[in-house]
Chains A and B, each alone.
Chain A
Amino acid sequence: MGCARCVPLFVIRSPGTPDRPHGGGVHVSTAWAEAPYPVLVTDSVGDVVETNEAASHLFAQAGEDVFVGSLPDWLAQAHRRPTPAVGPPESASGTVAGRTFEAHPSPGEDGCVVWWLVENTDLHLAQQALQGERERTTILADISSALFSSLNVERCTEVTVRMAADHLANAAVVVAPAQGRRHSLTYTQVGGEVAHKTAAIDPRAVPGLTEALQGFPPVPTRWIDPGDIPDWAVPPGFTGPIGSVIVTPLPGYGMPAGVLILLRSSTHQAFSDGEEVFARLFAARAGAALSAARLYAEQASITTTLLRELLPPKLERLHGVEYAGIYRAAKDHERVGGDFYDVHPGTGDSKETFVVLGDVAGKGLEAAVLTGKIRSVLHALLPLSGDHKHVLTLLNDALMNSHHTRFATLVLASVQRRQGEVRIRLTSAGHLPPLIVRTDGRVEEAATSGTLIGALPEIHAQSTEVVLAPGETCLLYTDGITEARGGPLGDQLYGEERLRTALRECVRMPAEAVVERVQMLASQWLGGREHDDMATLAITTPLGGGGTPHLVGEHDDSRPHDREQ
């Protein structure tokens, strides 16, 4: 308060002091006249009838003559409030001469009220600062969680402009780094939609933009003339002249993630220094989030490209035979693993389709890489696919001579349709023999066996031939199915017997339904427990039914399909 004289209040009751006698017949203590707090006495209608020294001084500072005019509005309003029947009268607060006060009333005589003004300017300022700081912290926390929740560049950019428009400016634009000579622009304004466009722009048209795109520190906002802003930097539909502009880089991982342009209309207050600082804090967060999203998109794109060759192929009907496969990797977040299958459509007169299903020791990406090599080798050996033993020997040699220490088991099948039935030559190389579902409900095991591949210099293999009548299926599968551990008692293997039982019900089912049913039952048996890679491939002779389906599936296919016999 800065009042050096501390006169104790309410010590002596006196009629007044010689230099400042009291008027108006109001009888109050002398102490108040020199009290360190401004004091006003108002009569019943709200006119000021008396002030003490501090009050005169205060109102003089404010350039107001409270005797002539009325009380400040906030105090006049408080005066008009009825005195509560019980309890102390209510205090009021407001500003005088740019300082804030709390005014406490105490009733005087004849309906007069004595207003004691206690200054709380510092407290008020501190509270305001605290509230502002809290709001900014909340906004920054909100911004961070919104920005960092998505790893999608487009969504991240949308969130950035939306948040910027909501909290910092009337409108916001993000200029992404150039792609060739074009920049992607994302705009929005308060309450508006987010708009995108890609355009060949001249960054030099916006002061500071070229520098910001190169990652230089932002130019002070006062350097930017709002009149210089070109139309492309203003959101479509933004009305009114621009009052002030901030151009700030979005710092990224070693290179700028883009530039944020904030616009305020001329009817709005210009950006303050504090707001400029806040805009930079915001830009730092947005830049980090955008860079993370870009990095993720790049990695995801690389992964997709590399995995494309390793993913199981989509199967469909070929030369009058149905093929369907389902692959489930050991880990739910992975798409590839140590199991694999391929179907190579036959060419030439025989139109013998070559099918392979196999299992490499181990799981995960490392195993998947080896499956990719095996699939490539087998693809190259396609012309020799008439002789399974020969193919297996060559594959064995290739694996023995590679740096991989892993081995593999597989089943080869050469499939040919002849007069309504399907002939399959099957060879197992250390793999589970395929199961054949007959129309009478029997489930047979194909009589083929052989040594696994990639372990011994010499291999042997025993082939077999089976014939499938319409509605019959040959199922190739990996041990991930039969070794699924779970069931109602939690610790049992699914086993071949349960698989056979399930297959007995798959007579005359489309190939897709067979693999789906087997995978579903095994998956339900697992009930969410850990499992190995699980692959199933069904070869089915379609039912003749009433004729030829002239639609074969959901994929475009330029290959001509054989008409059924």
Chain B
Amino acid sequence: MTSTTTPHPLHELSERLWAAAIDRDEPAAMRLVTAAADAGVDAEALLLDVVAGVQHRIGVEWAADRISVAAEHAASAITDRVLAALAHHQNPHPLHLRTRGRVTVACVEGEWHVLPARLLAEVLTHRGWHVDFLGGHTPTPHLVAHVHQTNPTAVLLSASLPTRLPTAHNAISALQSIGVSVMAGGAAFGADGRYARLLRADAWAPDAREAAARLDQGLTQHHAGRRQQIDDDLPHLTDQEYTLVVTRRTALVKQSLAALDARWPAMRTYSTAQRERTAEDIAHIVDFLAVALYVDDAELFTGFTTWTAGILHARHVPAAGLHLGLEVLAGQLRDFPRTLTFLKTATEALQAGSHHTGPGITA
């Protein structure tokens, strides 16, 4: 949900907002956007080109190790608050003028990247929809209860990290089974929306503008009760590899740590905190491996691996550890043919030295 090219007239504003966000200067950031809004800058351009653009840049700068994770978080918090203030400042239609119908916007459970969903909520509100914004990390039971109580035309579900896809799938089918249409959006669903289609979302949109346009066309009303079981969507899950990898996650991490200890002398000098980081890294690899198995797409895992290599490279960490990590995992998952193919493909991509732009986005 970002614009990669900032239109020229807003370029300077974007630069100044970026500087304020990174300087943790919230008042300055607020003044910049409200002044721009007062000066008549188009509301949607301000939201999607300036604020979202800055947020995207924050993610890119973090990936390149030019800002810390905490700085990323602080800057994101400021763009988030700027957005809220802007929404308040622009004084959207009063409720009775929001004639386009009612929709629900939410992030799937476990998804903390709220900004793309908030941007969408603002754009839709601005275009005259009555939007219920449930925010980040919305448990599926809450979402379902909300739909029962408010009867929206559609639910727009946002997820940025691909590891949220199984949860998103659960939410999509639960919502469809109670008869509401679901539009999926956010980087988790793939740059071309392939996972939205795989998980049978009724629609997919690459950004907030497209989502609004898609909503205007009208989503086909879902026929409740026609929704099949989740595993009918993904017949490959019957090989149980996804289930076994997820349920054995902790054991896999522990065994991998032990194997690394034996094979990587550097590990023995690690502090407790460093060992914990390593364990977290392995857990992260297992999580992405699991979700790749879920959607049956080796590319998802390869993308994550090469992106991680890029992140490590930016921090001057040799990728040898990552190689070894994959090898150690393969050693433990010998009976899982699909998993082994994914690990092999990723290892080959690492050797070829390709860098990926990243799993998910930060704006």
List chain A positions with a Cβ less than 8 A from chain B. Answer: 142, 144-146, 148-152, 154-155, 159, 296-297, 300, 332-333, 335, 471, 487-491, 501, 505-510, 512-513, 516-517, 520, 523, 528, 542-555
Determine if A510 and B141 form an interchain contact, defined as CB atoms under 8 angstroms apart.
no
Question: A552 CA to B254 CA in the complex, in Å?
Answer: 47
- Known contacts A149-B224, A150-B148, A488-B253; A159 and B179 CB within 8 A of each other: yes
Is A551 in contact with B30, judged by CB distance below 8 angstroms? Answer: yes
* Complex contact B276–A549 (CB within 8 A): no
Contact A543 B70 (CB under 8 A): no
A375 to B178, CA, bound (A): 38
- From A154, A491, A510, A550, B81 is in contact (CB under 8 Å) with A510
**A549, B279: Cβ atoms closer than 8 Å:** no
A335 to B147: give the CA distance in the assembly, Å: 16
B229-265 Cβ-contact flags toward A at 8 Å (1 or 0): 0000000000000000000011001100000000000
Q: Is B225 an interface residue (CB 8 A)?
A: yes
B84 x A553 contact (CB < 8 A): yes
B80 to chain A, nearest CB (A): 8
Q: Mark B8-32, 1 if CB is under 8 A from A, else 0.
A: 0000000000001000111110110
Q: B77–A488 contact, CB under 8 A? A: no
Add 6 more A-B contacts to A146-B179, A547-B27, A550-B30 (CB < 8 A). Answer: A145-B224, A332-B142, A333-B141, A505-B70, A510-B26, A520-B112
How far, in angstroms, from A154 to B153 measured CA to CA in the complex? 12
B34 near A551: Cβ-Cβ < 8 Å: yes
B6 at the interface (CB under 8 A from A): no
The answer, yes or no, to whether B210 is at the interface (CB within 8 Å) is: no
**Cβ B148 vs Cβ A300 within 8 A:** yes
**Chain A hits for B145, CB < 8 A:** 300, 333
The answer to whether A510 and B137 touch (CB under 8 A), given A152-B148, A488-B276, A488-B282, is no
Interface pair A149/B177, CB less than 8 Å apart: yes
Contact of B148 with A151 in the complex, beta carbons under 8 Å: yes
20 residue pairs A–B, Cβ–Cβ below 8 Å: A145-B225, A146-B225, A149-B178, A149-B179, A155-B151, A296-B148, A487-B280, A488-B276, A489-B254, A508-B24, A510-B74, A512-B80, A512-B81, A542-B26, A542-B27, A545-B27, A549-B31, A551-B34, A551-B85, A551-B89
Give, as a whole number of angstroms, the nearest-CB distance from B31 to chain A: 7
B77 & A512 in contact (Cβ 8 Å cutoff) = yes
CA distance A139 to B36 in the complex (A): 58
Residues of A within 8 A of B26 (CB): 510, 542-543, 545, 549
Chain B positions near chain A (C-beta within 8 angstroms):
20, 24-28, 30-31, 34, 68-70, 73-74, 76-78, 80-81, 84-85, 87-89, 109-110, 112, 137, 139, 141-142, 145, 147-151, 177-179, 223-226, 249-250, 253-254, 273, 276, 279-280, 282-283
Tell me whether B30 and A549 are in contact (CB under 8 A): yes
How far is B273's CA from A509's CA once the two chains are assembled, in angstroms?
A: 24
Q: Which of A154, A510, A545 contacts B77 (CB 8 A)?
A: A510
- Closest Cβ of chain A to B75, distance in Å, is 9
Are B31 and A300 in contact, with the CB atoms below 8 A?
no
Asked whether B112 lies within 8 Å of A516 as measured between CB atoms, the reply is yes
Which chain A positions have C-beta within 8 A of B224?
145-146, 149-150, 159
User: How many angstroms between the C-alpha atoms of A159 and B151 in the bound complex?
Assistant: 12
Contacts of A144 in B (CB 8 A): 225
A87 to B80, CA, bound (A): 78
B73→A546 contact, CB < 8 A: no
Instruction: List residues of chain A with CB within 8 A of the CB of B112.
Output: 516, 520, 523
Known: A149-B179, A333-B142, A512-B81. Contact between A489 and B279, CB under 8 A?
A: yes
Considering the complex, give the chain A residue whose CB is closest to the CB of B147: A152
- In the complex, A475→B177 CA distance in Å? 42
Interface of B is mostly: helix
Taking a contact as CB atoms under 8 Å apart, the answer to whether B28 and A545 are in contact is yes
Knowing A510-B78, A510-B81, A523-B110, say if A297 contacts B149 (CB, 8 Å).
Answer: yes
Q: Do residues B253 and A550 form an inter-chain contact, with CB atoms below 8 A?
A: no
Which of A489, A513, A553 is the one whose CB lies under 8 Å from B253? A489
- Given A487-B276, A546-B25, A551-B85, residue A155 in contact with residue B69 (CB < 8 A): no
CA distance A489 to B252 in the complex (A): 9
* Contact status B139-A332, CB under 8 Å: yes
Complex CA gap A147/B251 in Å reads 45
Give the 6 A-B CB pairs with smallest separation, nearest first.
A145-B225, A513-B77, A505-B70, A490-B250, A149-B224, A488-B279
Complex-state Cα separation, A509 to B25, whole angstroms: 10
Collect the chain A residues with CB atoms within 8 Å of residue B77's CB.
509-510, 512-513, 516
User: B139 to chain A: closest CB distance in Å?
Assistant: 4
Our pick among B28, B70, B76, B223 for the contact of A146 (Cβ within 8 Å) is B223
Cα A314 to Cα B277 with chains together (Å): 35
A307 to chain B, nearest CB (A): 12
Q: Contact at A554–B88, with CB atoms within 8 Å?
A: yes
Partner pick for A513 among B73, B223, B276, CB 8 A cutoff = B73
Distance in angstroms between the alpha carbons of A300 and B84 in the assembled complex? 29
The chain B residue with its CB closest to the CB of A555 is: B88
**Closest B residue, CB atoms, query A490:** B250
Known A490-B250, A543-B26; judge A506-B179 contact (CB<8 A).
no
Q: Are B31 and A547 in contact (CB under 8 A)?
A: yes
- A44 to nearest B CB, angstroms? 54
How far is it, in angstroms, between the C-alpha of A507 and the C-alpha of B74 when the chains are bound? 9
Measured between beta carbons, the chain B residues less than 8 angstroms from A300 are: 145, 148-149
**B25 and A150 form a contact (CB under 8 A):** no
B residues less than 8 Å from A552 (CB atoms):
85
CA distance A43 to B334 in the complex (A): 78
CA distance A488 to B276 in the complex (A): 8
Please state if B89 and A505 are interface contacts (CB–CB under 8 Å): no
Q: Which among B74, B89, B223, B276 has the highest number of chain A CB atoms within 10 Å?
A: B74
Closest Cβ neighbor of B140 among chain A residues: A332
Contacts of B76 on A, CB cut-off 8 Å? Answer: 513
Q: How far is the CB of A405 from chain B (nearest CB, A)?
A: 30
Q: How far is the CA of A513 from the CA of B142 in the complex (A)?
A: 23
Within the complex, the shortest CB–CB distance from B122 to chain A, in Å, comes to 10
Q: Establish whether residues B70 and A509, one from each chain, have CB atoms under 8 Å apart when the complex forms.
A: yes
Residue of A nearest to B34 (CB): A551
CB-based contact B84/A543 at 8 Å = no
Please give me the residue from chain A that is nearest to B251 by CB atom. A490
Residue of A nearest to B89 (CB): A551
Quick one: closest B residue to A155, CB to CB? Answer: B151
A506–B73 alpha-carbon span in the complex (Å): 9
- Within the assembled complex, what's the spacing in Å between the Cα atoms of A90 and B282? 70
Contact of B88 among A507, A508, A548, A551 (CB under 8 A): A551
